[in-house]
């Protein structure tokens, strides 16, 4: 849509404002819609001095009278005074919610990820901030304009005079309770002055303060080793340069990356600036948060368990520059820091940094743009970087900082690959093979702790019928139900559909129902039976539902109250427990056998990360990985702690197939309740894209349309196609040529995912 399409020119609406002067200003407004460019509205006289970019407005949209909320993104001179414009009807904010630079950042996100600017703004500003949660209107008073003339002709009682004196000293209205306190009086003198017209009442919005952000007990600095100091020197040089650069800190698990982050951030804070630290999942990193709070005066932690009022309170503190360090998940990249000095992304390889609904941005790329925009460094850290980040660093687009050794010269733990194809225990239905069983016994005997990793929750991942050979699936999703024994239910892990554990097959009515495979609940049962004396704790999304439950569980493990910790990938991230002497990966194949281009990369990352949970003290440790694919490159390289070898192998494979990071990909997903309608729409769009690519850019490839790997999800049929090209701009150009011509039938929805990280 062009600027002119945002204009409303209807002759039968005489009450709309007519712009007749060359110097009239208009507002460009975006809405929470998949529209590329803003609408243009006139600004009534009453709002001209008040309205600024970054504020929300309310006005009517389209030909009807539906009033909707939009965002003012620009105020400019009217270019064509002969046009009639709809007026803005209401301004909702007293101050802008976003700075000019944040508006530019959100506009870039809309362009980069092919969605509406207004959709981005709606996602970036927390709901609690939009609603002003945690604030209330408080009755306050100020002196009337004619107060002094009224006071001059009468003698005021002492208490009334005290109220007037208090208001004279204040440049802002004073809440009634505070005014009574300052004048040492009750409400009577205030009411008397109001009756005389000397003071006027006014409603003032007051903030309800949240929890303190002050740090905890101060902890002394750790002594940096040579490689940590070298890494810090490189980062500080980048900070002192006053220029943007991106640095990739590739450090082995246990190499002390967090201490380097802290020392770099201290340098930033010493300049009077702020730092943002992004972590994969805030609830899984209590140790990291405690370390930051023990080293800095004020640390804001943004997480999903915060109330709207708390989030609004912290947003205001950050915006006022009163917070030194902001720690949070991907949305913290939008924290309104007025003095940003550094952004750190810890465990940058984690897929949680990519948002899976509109706007489908990647926090790493948003941080890269924001840091370039504000001329500050970006620091990425990981023991197993994404291949995208690694390729940029090896091509010298980013600065590579290596910390290959663990602190205190501790060795990386040996990793033993266990081929379970002929394991007698596994063949009898056990989850823990002979080698792992022996290893656990030895670790417990030596008073060590054990971590067991299995990325499947529930009791049995598959409910299967022996008679007809089909799995019992969710009626709304193309997913086999998982049996949860504790609930005695078969559950869909996508839409939470659940039924009592079936006694007969829904397809053939046979009673030959079997529960196949092992989830974390079944593993917990097996571990308790095998090691009856051990204290066992399971960590997965079923057992850790209460706020703070992760922190409590990990603290129990840290204090030695738990001998065996088992769970899903939440136990593979950022944990530092010196007494862990054995880590067991129950089944590496669950990650490897996924219909996903990144399956090998994720398998390597998870094995390497979970292996890094042991050997963090002089006690040492080892890792056992059970698999039926011992020769798979990702498993083999992970067992050798050889990231360089894996990256070289996988990048060679990707280059041969023209896959990312050697190309840019956009995935277009269609969904609807009618399978034929969705299929036909997806095929039609794919044909248009192919034709457009042939005519304008033959190097652009269009794959599909085809059923999505999960063809039915939450009742919707799903088809997808893929656009691939050497650069993002070429993907975008082809898509925009076609997008404006698309008319989706009723009941069919479409979403575009640029740089997708999964293809389910």
CB 198 within 8 A of CB 141: no
pLDDT at 61: 86
Banded model confidence at residue 208, pLDDT cuts 50, 70, 90: low
Mean pLDDT of the chain: 89
Domain ranges of the chain: 4-130, 135-207, 226-408, 411-461+517-654, 664-754
Banded model confidence at residue 273, pLDDT cuts 50, 70, 90: very high
CATH of domain 664-754: 3.30.70.600
Banded model confidence at residue 350, pLDDT cuts 50, 70, 90: very high
pLDDT at 479: 87
Query: Rounded distance, CA 345 to CA 64, Å?
Result: 46
User: What are the pLDDT digits (tens) for 370-381?
Assistant: 999 999 999 999
The b/e string for 329-362 (b: 16+ C-beta within 10 A; e otherwise) is bbbbbbbbbeebbbbbbbbbbbebbbbeebbbbb
User: What are the pLDDT digits (tens) for 245-257?
Assistant: 999 999 998 899 9
pLDDT at 73: 96
Q: What is the mean pLDDT of residues 582-592?
A: 89
pLDDT at 216: 54
pLDDT at 210: 53
pLDDT at 268: 97
pLDDT greater than 90 at residue 509: no
If one compares 227 and 78, the residue with the highest pLDDT of the two is 227
Least confident window among 284-288, 426-430, 610-614: 284-288
CB within 8 A of 740, min separation 6: which ones?
none
Which of 68, 39, 109, 121 has its CA nearest to residue 752? 109
Running DSSP on this structure, what letter comes out for residue 362? B
pLDDT greater than 70 at residue 6: no
User: What are the pLDDT digits (tens) for 284-328?
Assistant: 667 788 889 889 989 998 877 777 888 888 898 999 999 999 999
Entry pTM? 0.86
CB 720 within 8 A of CB 667: yes
User: Which segments within 252-306 are labelled E, that is strand?
Assistant: 274-278, 299-302
pLDDT at 37: 84
The arrangement of secondary structure in 4-130, i.e. its CATH architecture, is 3-Layer(aba) Sandwich (3.40)
Which residues are paired to 462 by β-bridges? 516
pLDDT at 512: 85
pLDDT at 179: 92
pLDDT at 214: 56
Give SS3 for 618.
coil
If one compares 91 and 139, the residue with the highest pLDDT of the two is 91
pLDDT at 206: 63
If one compares 644 and 468, the residue with the highest pLDDT of the two is 644
Q: What are phi and psi of 272, to 5 degrees?
A: 80, 25
User: What are the pLDDT digits (tens) for 677-713?
Assistant: 999 999 999 999 999 999 999 999 999 899 999 999 9
* 226-408 and 664-754 in the same fold: no
pLDDT at 3: 42
Banded model confidence at residue 593, pLDDT cuts 50, 70, 90: confident
pLDDT at 10: 30
Give SS3 for 655.
helix
Q: What is the mean pLDDT of residues 570-595?
A: 83
pLDDT at 313: 86
Query: Rounded distance, CA 60 to CA 160, Å?
Result: 48
pLDDT at 129: 85
Q: What is the mean pLDDT of residues 561-587?
A: 87
Q: What is the mean pLDDT of residues 529-534?
A: 95
Least confident window among 3-12, 23-32, 186-195, 454-463: 3-12
pLDDT greater than 90 at residue 420: yes
If one compares 632 and 8, the residue with the highest pLDDT of the two is 632
pLDDT greater than 70 at residue 50: yes
pLDDT greater than 50 at residue 5: no
Report residue 745 CA to chain centroid gap.
32
The arrangement of secondary structure in 135-207, i.e. its CATH architecture, is Orthogonal Bundle (1.10)
Domain at 226-408, CATH homologous superfamily: P-loop containing nucleotide triphosphate hydrolases (3.40.50.300)
Q: Could you tell me the two tokens for 668?
A: 């277009």
Whole-number percent of the chain with pLDDT over 90: 62
Measure Cα distances from 76 to 8, 80, 360 in Å: 17, 12, 30
**CATH T-level assignment (fold) for domain 411-461+517-654:** Rossmann fold (3.40.50)
Whole-number percent of the chain with pLDDT over 70: 94
């Amino acid at each position: 849509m062009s600027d002119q399409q945002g204009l409303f020119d209807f002759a039968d609406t005489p009450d709309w404002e007519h712009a007749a002067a060359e110097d009239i200003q208009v507002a460009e407004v975006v809405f929470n819609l998949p529209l590329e460019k803003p609408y243009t509205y006139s600004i009534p006289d009453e709002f001209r001095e008040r309205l600024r970019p970054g504020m929300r407005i309310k006005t009517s949209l389209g030909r009807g009278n539906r009033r909707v909320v939009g965002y003012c993104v620009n105020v400019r001179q009217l270019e064509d005074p002969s046009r009639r414009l709809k007026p803005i009807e209401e301004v909702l904010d007293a101050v802008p919610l976003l700075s000019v630079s944040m508006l530019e950042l959100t506009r870039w996100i809309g362009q980069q990820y092919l969605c509406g600017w207004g959709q981005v703004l709606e996602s970036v500003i927390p709901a609690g901030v939009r609603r002003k949660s945690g604030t209330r209107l408080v009755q306050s008073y100020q002196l009337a304009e004619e107060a002094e003339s009224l006071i001059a002709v009468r003698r005021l009682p002492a208490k009334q005079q005290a109220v007037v004196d208090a208001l004279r000293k204040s440049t802002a209205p004073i809440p009634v309770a505070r005014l009574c306190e300052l004048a040492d009086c009750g409400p009577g003198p205030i009411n008397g002055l109001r009756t005389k017209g000397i003071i006027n009442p006014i409603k003032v919005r007051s903030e309800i303060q949240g929890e303190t952000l002050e740090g905890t007990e101060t902890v002394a600095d750790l002594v940096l080793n040579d490689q940590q100091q070298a890494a810090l020197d490189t980062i500080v040089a980048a900070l002192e340069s006053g220029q943007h650069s991106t640095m990739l800190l590739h450090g082995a698990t246990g190499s002390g990356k967090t201490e380097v982050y802290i020392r770099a951030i201290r340098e930033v804070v010493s300049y009077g600036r702020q730092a943002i630290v992004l972590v994969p999942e805030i609830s899984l990193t209590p140790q990291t948060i405690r370390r930051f709070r023990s080293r800095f005066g004020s640390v804001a932690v943004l997480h999903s368990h915060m109330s709207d009022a708390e989030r609004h309170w912290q947003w205001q503190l950050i915006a006022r520059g009163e917070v030194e360090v902001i720690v949070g998940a991907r949305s913290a990249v939008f924290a309104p820091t007025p003095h940003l000095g550094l952004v750190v992304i810890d465990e940058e390889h984690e897929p949680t940094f990519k948002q899976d609904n509109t706007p489908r941005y990647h926090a790493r790329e948003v941080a890269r743009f924001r840091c370039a925009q504000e001329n500050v460094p970006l620091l990425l850290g990981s023991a197993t970087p994404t291949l995208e980040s690694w390729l940029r660093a090896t091509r010298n687009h980013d600065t590579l900082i290596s910390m290959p050794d663990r602190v205190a010269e501790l060795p990386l733990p040996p990793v033993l690959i266990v081929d379970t194809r002929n394991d007698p225990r596994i063949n009898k239905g056990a989850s823990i093979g002979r080698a792992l069983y022996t290893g656990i016994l030895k670790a417990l005997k030596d008073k060590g702790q054990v971590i067991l990793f299995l990325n499947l929750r529930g009791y049995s991942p598959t409910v299967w019928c022996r008679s007809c050979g089909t799995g019992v699936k969710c009626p709304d999703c193309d997913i086999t139900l998982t049996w949860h024994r504790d609930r005695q239910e078969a559950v869909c892990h996508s839409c939470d559909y659940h039924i009592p554990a079936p006694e007969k097959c829904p397809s053939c009515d046979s009673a030959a129902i079997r529960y196949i495979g092992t989830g974390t609940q079944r593993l917990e049962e097996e571990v308790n039976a095998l090691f009856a004396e051990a204290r066992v704790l399971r960590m997965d999304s079923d057992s850790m539902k209460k706020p703070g439950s992760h922190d409590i569980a990990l603290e129990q493990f840290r204090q030695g109250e738990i001998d065996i910790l088992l769970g899903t990938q939440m136990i593979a991230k950022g944990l530092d427990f010196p007494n862990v002497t054995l880590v067991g990966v129950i089944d590496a194949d669950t990650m490897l056998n996924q219909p996903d281009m990144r399956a090998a990369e994720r398998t390597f990352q998870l094995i390497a990360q979970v292996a890094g949970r042991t050997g963090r003290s002089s006690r040492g440790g080892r890792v056992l990985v059970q698999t039926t694919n011992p020769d798979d490159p990702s498993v083999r390289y992970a067992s050798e702690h050889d990231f360089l070898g894996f990256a070289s192998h996988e990048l060679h494979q990707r280059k041969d197939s023209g896959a990312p990071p050697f190309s840019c990909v956009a995935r277009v997903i269609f969904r609807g309740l009618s399978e034929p309608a969705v299929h036909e729409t997806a095929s039609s769009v794919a044909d248009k894209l192919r034709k457009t690519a042939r005519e304008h850019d033959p190097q652009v490839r269009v794959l599909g349309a085809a059923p999505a790997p999960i063809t039915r999800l939450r009742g919707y049929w799903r088809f997808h196609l893929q656009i691939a090209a050497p650069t993002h701009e070429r993907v975008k150009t082809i898509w925009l040529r076609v997008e404006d011509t698309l008319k989706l039938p009723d009941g069919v929805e479409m979403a575009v995912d640029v740089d997708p990280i999964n293809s389910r």
